[in-house]
Structure 1
Amino acid sequence: MGAPTVGTDTSESPPPPPPPANCSPNNLTLCAGDPAAPQEEPAAPIVVTLRDIASFRPATPGNGMEPGGWAVVGLPANFVAAASVEVVSGTLLGQPADVRFTPVGYRWSHSDGGIVESGSPGATWDALGQREFSPTPTSHVYVAPGEYTAELEVALRAEYRFAGSPWRSIAGTLAVTGPPQRVLVGEFDTVLTRGDCIADPSGPGC
């Protein structure tokens, strides 16, 4: 018996499948593979809403005025809000995240029916370089004596970010309210005097 010999497979490999009939240099996608093969769906972008950030609580805005807590009939009382950009940390969609709140609008609702809206929080007369009882963009004039309230609402724009990511905007604005400001409004009469009524209480006009 002779030594075994190693045979070789002389059969040819099956030819590759023909390209799609509509394959052409102008349709390279079809040339690259089977157009009927399932394609992977792109990942849907994350959409964060104001409801998703409900656990991120911005600070309550301050609701101040001058003169402090009182006003004069027919003269402007100046209202000033205290609100600023604030970053609050927490968990968003199961991940550590930051939410940044930026004030974009201010609205004072007065119990006499007056509404004052402004894009700024207002400023004191001193900061504005104005005399006391001067009109300002956030002032209000009461026309009758009595006790009133002024309620402040601040509109906040919200943005979020995960660790290392840029800030991304959230559609809409969030409204937060400050404590109501009590305002006692009275009438004041001016009287002409000849001198200092403290030094001379019995003087004319005192």
Structure 2
Amino acid sequence: MTLRDIASFRPAIPADVMEPDGWAVVGLPANFVSGATAQTLAGSLLGRPAEVRFTPVGYAWASSDGGSVASGSPGATWAQLGAREFSATDTSLVFDERGTFQVQPTVTFTAEYRFNGSVWRTIDGTLDVPAPVRSVLVGEFDTVLVAGDCNERPTGPGC
């Protein structure tokens, strides 16, 4: 059995999460998290009732600016990691210049099959499934120290 034999079985396109959502700051990490999970699909294989199970084993994000990151983990949000916003993670990208960039997430799956509830049999090879491309607006920001918040000093910078 090969991946070509199970071509009629297609894992769902995995969703992903980006922190911050849709934007990033030049020089600071943007965090990406895949929502891919194991999936079992029922159908017909070689004319017999069968199931095919897809298990995610690799995750990658490639940016149109040339940056990329690959991981054996789907990643986690900063909150799940107990990390501060803009902390580096195993699945973060750093953008070096301003602009709008496209990020292509891809999940790598292994596949197994079985007929009529028999034991699972591994299929050699892996299957790369691209998720929808995400547009990321990258900009710069400056911090300003002020003597109080805008309620205390309504004429202060940025108020």
TM-score by length of 1: 0.75
Higher Cα radius of gyration: 1
1:183 to 132, 136, 157: 136
Q: Secondary structure of the equivalent of 1:193? A: coil
Residue 109 of structure 1 aligns with which residue?
Answer: 62
What is the percent sequence identity of the aligned residues? Answer: 64
CA distance, structure 2, for counterparts of residue 115 and residue 55 of structure 1 = 30
Contact 1:63 1:180 in 2 (8 A): no
Residue 97 of structure 1 aligns with which residue?
Answer: 50
Residue 164 of structure 1 aligns with which residue?
Answer: 117
Residue 81 of structure 1 aligns with which residue?
Answer: 34
CA distance, structure 1, for counterparts of residue 151 and residue 24 of structure 2 = 25
Larger relative contact order (CA 8 Å, sep ≥ 6): 2
2:104 to 145, 148, 151: 151
Contact 1:194 1:205 in 2 (8 A): no
User: What letter corresponds to residue 133 of structure 1 in structure 2?
Assistant: F
1:136 to 89, 100, 123: 89
- Deviations along 1:124-149, one digit per CA (max 9) or x if unpaired, are 00000000000000001111111011
Q: Name stretches of at least 5 consecutive residues in structure 2 with no aligned partner.
A: none
2:73 to 110, 117, 120: 120
Report the CA distance between 1:203 and its aligned residue. 3.3
Q: Name stretches of at least 5 consecutive residues in structure 1 with no aligned partner.
A: 1-47
Aligned length: 159
Contact 1:70 1:185 in 2 (8 A): yes
User: What letter corresponds to residue 64 of structure 1 in structure 2?
Assistant: V
Runs of 4+ in 1 over 3 A off after TM superposition: 203-206
Q: Secondary structure of the equivalent of 2:93? A: strand
Instruction: Flag the 1:112–1:93 CA change in 2: closer, same or farther, 3 A.
Output: same
Report the CA distance between 1:199 and its aligned residue. 4.2
TM-score by length of 2: 0.96
CA distance, structure 2, for counterparts of residue 204 and residue 119 of structure 1 = 45
